[in-house]
Chains A and B, each alone.
Chain A
Amino acid sequence: MLEIRNLKAKAGGKEILKGIDLTVKAGEVHAIMGPNGSGKSTLAHVLAGRETVEVTGGEVLYDGRNLLEMAPEIRAREGVFLAFQYPVEIPGVSNMYLLKAAVNAVRKHRGEQEYDAMEFLALVKERMKLVEMDQALLNRAVNEGFSGGEKKRNEVFQMAVLDPRLCVLDETDSGLDIDALRIVAGGVNALRGPRRAMIVITHYQRLLSYIVPDRVHVLAQGRIVKSGGKELALRLEEKGYAWIEGQIAGPAAPAAGA
């Protein structure tokens, strides 16, 4: 579904991604771990189409098509979803309004009939249960005055409503207490399926006890320096990122593929 080849990118004039290779197939969940500043969020933003990140090399294929040429909204309509690390507050725009506009943009793009108010409400009611979303939050402005946990829950809720094929979760676990983490992870797990792929970006192994990945990649200094099964996350937890950094500082850093 997703093929990233030798991807290089700059943000703020600084080279952040220095050649990423990653292949994700439908039905798989890949975890990307790494220390602060390793390029995790930059990778997420490149996939979603953020214009402040400049791609300087390599390619990204989504179902065999050039993802990098698509505008952010086209990616979204084609089924790419980014759960933001820092969801944006938008005073004056209601959550429901945004969701309805988003759902119908996706449906229209797929050549499907747009939902009317009733159908949309039915969909929302059903998906709300996934993340135990409070109805009151839906009528409020997008993320305005939401707690950290509510914002993350709202991201996963949007994901559930939009029904994407490629989900990128950017540190969706950061700043969550254990209850919120359980709820968010439960929502994500409910959305796992054979036709959907997920990239779960995290700093902590903790999330991966709830969302068990098929593959784990370690990102450091703009490159994937190690890949493995879910047990890699446990080793990282045990030994810390210094272990990885020690390895790349050493002579031959093993190139990683998926």
Chain B
Amino acid sequence: MSTEKTSRAGRDRWIAACARVRNDAPAGTAWMDGLRTRAAARFADVGFPTTRDEAWRCTSLQPVENGRFEAHPAPRPEALTPDLFQQLTFEPWDCNHLVFLNGRYAPSLSRAAHLPAGVRLTSLAEAVVEEPGLVEPHLGRLADARARSVTDLNTALMSDGLFLHVPRGTVVQEPIHALFVSMANGAPAMSHPRNLLVLEEGAQASVVESYAGIDGGAYLTNTVTEIAAADNAVVDHVRLVRETGAAIHLSHLEARLGRSAGVSSHVVSLGGGLVRHDVNAVLDGEGAECTLNGLYVLDGAQHVDNHTLIDHARPNGTSRELYKGVLDGRSRGIFDGTIIVRPDAQKSDARQVNRNLLLSEDSLADSKPTLEIHADDVKCSHAATIGQIEENALFYLRSRGLSEEMARSLLVQAFVSDILGRIRIGPVRAGLECLLFTRLPRHHPPRETA
């Protein structure tokens, strides 16, 4: 079949790209080469998933497979104008910023100032060379075990990313912001950002990853983040996708929680043409607590596929999951959430909710919860809704003098307010509110009166 043939040619091109990276790499460390080689071999073996794979049934990767994406050299830092920089970093947010342009670290735009002693915050490429002892035990250990071939591709091709190591008992108060900016500049670009967050026992940190594109060209972002949260560690993680409509964004977040560790993840998808998120959390210590929140606000022909997996592997774990979608235009939003409770994980308490608000006739929401419960003394619940703006509420607001546009906009804001309220990093929450409420009402002008 012709699709098979295209597929083969596409896969071969990607296999060749992996080989090039290995050859081009500067005299790398042996373990890093090994990591890349093994990942490339797994990818060569399996290739891209197809829509016949259950986990990819709603999302075709053909545009990735057959796209001719190239890793572009890093543009000059000036390409990121002060205006854009301000916008993308939620200025005047005075935090630690690490900026990456087309996947490459831009030290002149970055700032890591507010850090307690002993905390390592650098680019991953730097850390691999300078602190292999902190990187090697963790890099690839969590994510690469997932048999996700796009993750293998990331490992084989990884350019750079954020590396954070917080030693035992240390609290990093200031949030850390890793900003990934893509510029296609005429030809399809790609980057494979790789982030690694290691929190030792009792350590604490908040990290925001944001992804944006600044020209109209096509590009691919294929990013992987690993979070190793040891016993009692606390991590607050936000992934914010503001890619352009011409972008493909694939992401994988893999978190392992030790005893009584707490990890919360917020995945906010506003931009991107084709977006796929995999968020996996393994509650691998007793009494761990994990929160997965997600918000996707889509328009036009956007396609966003959220896959989450919460694995209760030990007793007394708690998980709370809330994903909300607002779909306009011809967009499609997918939520596919699995909760596994292992036989050993008695007294687990899991709650999953997915709510979707359709604003147009042609938008489409899919919601698929899966509970796999192998223990007998657990509390697990899930709920999923797909609805439209309630006519009753709309009439009530209009009968008080609000225009239909404004009433709609207000109801959408109300719908997303609880998700936004759960983002604890103030400047990000405020920036998002501002972004959303000037963007959402594109057909619904936000402020007619107030």
Q: Are A93 and B448 in contact (CB under 8 A)?
A: no
Asked if A90 and B449 sit within 8 Å, CB to CB, the answer is no
CA distance A71 to B179 in the complex (A): 46
Q: Which of A32-40, A54-62, A103-111, A128-136 contacts B (4 or more CB under 8 A)?
A: A103-111
Q: Which of B55-63, B77-85, B346-354, B398-406 binds A?
A: B398-406
B410 within 8 Å of A by Cβ?
yes
Q: Cβ of A73 and Cβ of B401 under 8 Å apart?
A: yes
Interface membership of B435, Cβ < 8 A? no
Q: Does A122 contact B (CB under 8 A)?
A: no
Tell whether, in the assembled complex, residue A158 and residue B415 are in contact, meaning their CB atoms are under 8 Å apart. Answer: no
B198-212 interface code vs A (CB 8 A; 1 in, 0 out): 000000000000000
Residues of A within 8 A of B406 (CB): 101, 105
Interface residues of A in 55-112 (CB under 8 A from B): 71-73, 75-77, 81-82, 84, 87-88, 90-93, 97-98, 100-102, 104-106, 108-109
Instruction: Tell me, yes or no, whether B411 is within 8 Å of chain A by CB.
Output: yes
* Most chain B C-beta atoms within 10 Å of own C-beta, residue among A50, A75, A92, A108: A92
Task: Find out whether the CB atom of A76 lies under 8 angstroms from the CB atom of B399.
Answer: yes
Asked if A46 lies at the interface with its beta carbon under 8 angstroms from chain B, I say no
A93 partner residues in chain B, CB cutoff 8 A: 410-411, 413-414
Within 8 A of A (CB), among B376-397: 390-393, 395-397
List the A residue with the shortest CB-CB distance to B447. Answer: A101
Report the bound CA distance from A108 to B401 in whole Å. Answer: 11
Q: Report if B450 contacts A (CB, 8 A).
A: yes
A162 sits at the interface (CB 8 A): yes
Q: Assess the B393–A88 pair: CB atoms within 8 A.
A: yes
Q: Nearest chain-A residue to B390 (Cβ)?
A: A88
Contact of B415 among A48, A73, A92, A141 (CB under 8 A): A92
Give every chain A residue within 8 A of B410 (Cβ-Cβ): 93, 97-98, 101
- Please determine whether A51 and B401 come into contact, CB atoms closer than 8 angstroms: no
Q: Contact check, A92 vs B396: say whether CB atoms are below 8 A apart.
A: no
Q: Chain B residues near A52: list those with CB within 8 A.
A: 391
Question: Which of A87, A92, A108 sits near B449, CB closer than 8 Å?
Answer: A108
Check: A114 CB closer than 8 A to any chain B CB.
Answer: yes
**Cα distance A88–B391 in the bound complex, in angstroms:** 10
Q: For the complex, what is the distance from the CA of A100 to the CA of B414, rounded to whole Å?
A: 16
Q: Tell me, in angstroms, the Cα distance from A158 to B397 when the chains sit together.
A: 12
B residues within 8 A CB of A109? 401
Q: Which of A82, A84, A92 contacts B414 (CB 8 A)?
A: A92
CB neighbours of B392 from chain A (8 A): 88
Let me know if A49 is at the binding interface, CB within 8 A.
yes
Residues of chain A within 8 A (CB-CB) of B413 are: 92-93
Q: Are B395's CB and A105's CB within 8 A?
A: no
How far, in angstroms, from A91 to B417 measured CA to CA in the complex?
A: 9
> In whole angstroms, how far apart are the Cα atoms of A81 and B397 in the complex?
12
Known A-B contacts A90-B396, A101-B410; A106 and B417 likewise in contact (beta carbons under 8 Å): no
Residues of B within 8 A of A100 (CB): 450
Q: Does the CB pair B414–A73 fall under 8 Å? A: no
Interface residues on B, range: 20 to 34
B418 within 8 A of A: yes
CA gap between A77 and B397 in the complex, in Å: 12
User: Which A114-171 residues sit within 8 Å CB-CB of chain B?
Assistant: 114, 141, 158, 162
Say how far A80's CB is from chain B's closest CB, in angstroms.
8
Cβ-closest chain A residue relative to B400: A102
Q: How far is the CA of A93 from the CA of B411 in the complex (A)?
A: 8
The CA of A128 and the CA of B197, in the complex, are separated in Å by 53
Contacts of A105 in B (CB 8 A): 400-403, 406, 448-449
Q: Which residues of A contact B450 (CB under 8 A)?
A: 97, 100-101, 104
Question: Nearest-CB distance from B399 to chain A (Å)?
Answer: 5
- A50 partner residues in chain B, CB cutoff 8 A: 395
Min CB distance A74 to B, Å, is 9
Q: Measured between C-beta atoms, what is the minimum distance from B335 to chain A in Å?
A: 20
- Given the interface pairs A92-B418, A93-B414, A105-B448, the reply to whether A73 lies near B402 with Cβ below 8 Å is yes
In the complex, what's the smallest C-beta–C-beta distance from A108 to chain B, in angstroms?
Answer: 6
B411 nearest CB across to chain A (Å): 7
Chain A residues near B401: list those with CB within 8 A: 73, 76-77, 101-102, 105-106, 109, 162
In angstroms, Cα B402 to Cα A49, docked, is 13
Q: In the docked arrangement, what's the CA distance between A211 and B84, Å?
A: 62
Query: Which of B391, B396, B411, B418 has the most chain A CB within a 10 Å cutoff?
Result: B396
A151 CB to nearest chain B CB (Å): 11
Collect the chain B residues with CB atoms within 8 Å of residue A114's CB.
Answer: 449
B417 in contact with A92 (CB, 8 Å): yes
Task: Compute how far the CA of A77 lies from the CA of B401 in the bound complex, rounded to whole angstroms.
Answer: 5
Our pick among B396, B397, B398 for the contact of A71 (Cβ within 8 Å) is B398
Residues 101-129 of chain B, each 1 if its beta carbon lies under 8 Å from chain A, else 0: 00000000000000000000000000000
Please name all residues of chain B whose beta carbon is closer than 8 Å to the beta carbon of A49 when the two chains form the complex.
398-399
**Nearest chain B CB to A257's CB is how many angstroms away?**
28
Chain A nearest CB from B419 CB (Å) reads: 10
The residue on B at minimum CB distance from A45 is B395
B396 near A84 (CB under 8 angstroms)?
yes
How far apart sit A81 and B403, CA to CA, in the bound complex (Å)? Answer: 15
A80 to B, closest residue via Cβ: B399
A76-B449 in contact (CB<8A): no
Contact between A101 and B414, CB atoms less than 8 A apart: no
Residues of B within 8 A of A91 (CB): 414
15 further A-B contacts with Cβ under 8 Å, apart from A48-B395, A93-B410, are: A71-B398, A72-B398, A73-B399, A73-B407, A75-B399, A76-B399, A88-B396, A92-B414, A98-B397, A98-B400, A101-B401, A101-B410, A101-B449, A102-B400, A162-B401
15 A-B pairs within 8 Å (CB atoms) are namely A48-B395, A49-B398, A51-B395, A73-B403, A73-B404, A76-B399, A76-B400, A82-B399, A88-B393, A90-B396, A93-B413, A105-B402, A105-B403, A108-B449, A141-B414
Residues of B within 8 A of A (CB): 390-393, 395-404, 406-407, 410-411, 413-415, 417-418, 448-450
Closest 4 CB pairs of A and B: A92-B414, A105-B401, A76-B401, A102-B400
On A, residues with C-beta under 8 Å from B are: 48-52, 71-73, 75-77, 81-82, 84, 87-88, 90-93, 97-98, 100-102, 104-106, 108-109, 114, 141, 158, 162
